[in-house]
Structure 1
Amino acid sequence: MSRQRSMEAILASEYVSIGELTRLTGARYSTLKFYTEEGMLPFEQAEENLTRRYLREATVELIFRIKQLKADGLSIPQIKAALKEEQ
């Protein structure tokens, strides 16, 4: 098991892991994994260890946008459509 990076190190990084995104946003790991699998959270994959890396600032903003749309009562298909329109 790998050691967790400090919040200071996470906030200084351009890229973060899905676990670090849970710490930054308060979202559940399973929720972020679902959003990733649904194509709602873009990521890069490092070939050497197959770890998904997310752009920290853009992804945190996107997660909070998804949370807001969900709070507004939108379904996942509606959220996906709204995100696509915003691009």
Structure 2
Amino acid sequence: MEVIENAEYITIGELVRLTGVRYSTLKFYTEEGMLHFEQAEENLTRRYRRADTLERILLIKKLKEDGLSIPQIKEELQKT
């Protein structure tokens, strides 16, 4: 776990372990353009910048708790 917490890039599975957010939810956020990733050419794995993505997931959680809908959250994310 320490390796994941210090890595620059992590996978969606590692994001699940760090955040407790379900895989399907993170995949939905990715497909909706709410989470940014880079494609590793050697095996086509999506890699997420750990620090930036964790911060973004926390923001999405907060906006959801504040009662915003997905379209509203996407709009807010575009401002950041």
Would you call these one fold, judging by a TM-score over 0.5?
yes
Q: Tell me the TM-score normalized by structure 1.
A: 0.90
Q: Which residue of 2 aligns with 1:69?
A: 63
Question: Which residue among 5, 9, 18 is the counterpart of 2:12?
Answer: 18
Larger Rg: 1
Q: Which residue of 2 aligns with 1:28?
A: 22
Contiguous gaps of at least 5 residues in structure 1: 1-6
Task: Let me know the Cα RMSD of the aligned residues.
Answer: 0.6
Corresponding residue SS for 2:53: helix
Write the mapping of 1:19-58 to structure 2, written as runs, cut at 5 A: 19-58=13-52
Contiguous gaps of at least 5 residues in structure 2: none
The 4+ residue runs of structure 1 with deviation greater than 3 A are: none
Fraction of identical pairs, as percent: 71
Q: Tell me the TM-score normalized by structure 2.
A: 0.97
Alignment partners' CA distance in 2, 1:56 and 1:12? 8
